[in-house]
Amino acid sequence: MRRACLILGLFVLALIWLGPLLDAWRGSFSAHMLAHMGVVAIAAPLIAIGIPLGPKPDASRAFAIALPASVVELIVVWSWHAPALRALAESSLFATAIEQATFLAAGLFLWLACLPRRGSDTAGNAAGAFALLLTSIHMTLLGALLALTPRPLYGADDVSCFGVSLSAQQDQELGGVIMLLVGAAVYLAGGVTLLARMLATPPRETV
């Protein structure tokens, strides 16, 4: 199963990076958001599941890794959605490559820090759940801001995505909705799953 997840994750990554999302439709914010969510919320967890890991660190180390990973994800995501950096990534292939590489690195860092491992206990699952739920919250907030902002932040011209012409405002709103539907939902599902594992883990007997 691990190998299948790894192969599928790499396939999704190739589909995103070599397909039209970052090429023919690179001027569309909603296409950018599909690529972004595909990298951090689909490819990254699949690749993380496919990477063999050692046992889960103890409770203090689990929180010391998972929480900073969530903060790193927050900084990377919010920074690249600042209008100036979004314009830079849209106008330069080199900047796009850096953007996508940092999305993948931040996504892998978070999912590797949070996913259950051999020997995971209640504290380890709690650390992962808290970090993923925190990430879901900031994804929800950013997605809502993008969808509800009354003016376009990323240009004023009409764009084309999947053969559909959208105004800049519509394109931004659609991008925000994609972040809400994919990003926030995936991280929320991951956090809830770890919470369920935590509640199902029997307490350790003390001698």
Residue 207 lies in a domain: no
Residue 205 lies in a domain: no
pLDDT in tens, 130-187: 999 999 999 999 999 999 999 989 877 888 777 788 898 999 999 999 999 998 899 9
- Band of residue 34 on the pLDDT scale cut at 50, 70, 90: very high
Residue 25 lies in a domain: yes
- Band of residue 121 on the pLDDT scale cut at 50, 70, 90: low
Residue 149 lies in a domain: yes
Q: Which of 78, 69, 95, 64 is nearest to 153 (CA)?
A: 78
Residue 137 lies in a domain: yes
- Please check whether residue 118 is in contact with residue 56, taking contact to mean a CB–CB distance below 8 angstroms: yes
Mean pLDDT of the chain: 86
Interior/surface letters 4-40, b for 16+ CB within 10 angstroms, e for the rest: ebbebbeebbeebbeeebbeebbbbbbbbbbbbbbbb
Residue 170 lies in a domain: yes
pLDDT in tens, 95-118: 999 999 999 999 999 998 888 765
pTM: 0.87
Q: Which of 125, 121, 75 is nearest to 102 (CA)?
A: 75
Beta bridge partners of 165: 160
Q: Which of 70, 82, 64 is nearest to 133 (CA)?
A: 70
Residue 105 lies in a domain: yes
Residue 206 lies in a domain: no
Question: pLDDT at position 206, please?
Answer: 46
The more confidently predicted of residues 161 and 36 is 36
Count of the separate structural domains present in the chain: 1
Q: What are phi and psi of 161, to 5 degrees?
A: -140, 125
Rounded distance between C-alpha atoms, residue 149 and residue 145, angstroms: 6
Q: Which domain holds residue 22?
A: 2-200
Report the pLDDT averaged over residues 11-40.
Answer: 91
Question: pLDDT at position 9, please?
Answer: 93
